[in-house]
């Protein structure tokens, strides 16, 4: 074997050894690299899922807050609208009741309806036959027809009053009030509207009913 052949054989041994050593070093490195890449991908997917979950929760919270704010604004809008309706409706109701009192036929119905409550609201004067028995007080609007107020007084006498004392109230524009001791029959316009919450509730219901 000449020198060239020996050299080639030696180079072949060296190359084989190099390849063997490279394989011994590179294969684990490649395996480790693949494992690291796989772990990195898993971690990246986990972070993405976490970020997506957190974003979804954040968006859900923002949406819930927006819906709550919208519900509050709608409720306030409805309350403001109802308050406006009630303000105008209340004024219209008082005007309508005043018109009822100013109309003789309607006023007669008003008086009759309220006098029907006398027995349940007012107690007869104790020992009405006594001369010193306290009179019932009929408080009247100024300018109320004498004949009408006298008919009311006569009805009160029939229901137990010993006497009826009439007083004009210049602040009273509609209705009348009867005081019998500590008991009061308030048939004035304000008396009819005294239960404001109940009246406003019914008024709002009527206003919002479809035509």
* Mean pLDDT computed over 96-105: 93
pLDDT for 194: 84
- Between 169 and 48, the higher pLDDT residue: 169
> Has residue 82 got a pLDDT over 80?
no
DSSP for 84-112 reads: HHHHHHHHHHHHHHHHHHHSHHHHHHHHH
Are the beta carbons of 164 and 127 closer than 8 angstroms?
Answer: no
Average pLDDT, the chain: 83
pLDDT for 193: 87
Q: Could you write out the three-class secondary structure of 176-189?
A: CEEEECCEEEECCH
What is the β-pairing status of strands 164-169 and 183-186?
unpaired
pLDDT for 125: 53
109-147 per-position pLDDT tens digit:
999 999 988 888 887 655 545 555 789 999 999 989 999
Supply the DSSP symbol for 209: S
| pLDDT grade for 173, boundaries at 50, 70 and 90 | very high
């Amino acid at each position: 074997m000449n020198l060239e052949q020996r050299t080639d054989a030696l180079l072949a041994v060296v190359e084989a050894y190099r390849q063997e050593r490279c394989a011994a070093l590179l294969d684990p490195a490649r395996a480790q690299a693949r494992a690291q890449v796989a772990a990195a991908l898993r971690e990246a997917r986990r972070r993405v899922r976490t970020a997506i979950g957190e974003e979804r929760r954040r968006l859900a919270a923002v949406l819930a807050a927006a819906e709550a704010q919208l519900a509050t604004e709608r409720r306030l809008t409805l309350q403001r609208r109802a308050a406006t309706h009630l303000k105008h409706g209340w004024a219209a109701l008082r005007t309508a009741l005043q018109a009822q009192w100013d109309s003789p036929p309607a006023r007669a119905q008003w008086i009759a309806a309220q006098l029907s409550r006398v027995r349940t609201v007012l107690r007869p004067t104790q020992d009405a036959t006594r001369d010193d028995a306290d009179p019932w007080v009929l408080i009247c609007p100024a300018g109320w027809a004498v004949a009408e107020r006298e008919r009311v007084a006569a009805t009160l006498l029939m229901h137990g009053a010993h006497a009826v004392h009439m007083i004009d109230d210049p602040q009273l524009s509609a209705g009348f009030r009867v005081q019998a001791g500590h008991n009061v029959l308030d048939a004035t316009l304000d008396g009819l509207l005294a239960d404001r919450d109940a009246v406003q509730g019914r008024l709002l219901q009527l206003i919002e009913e479809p035509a």
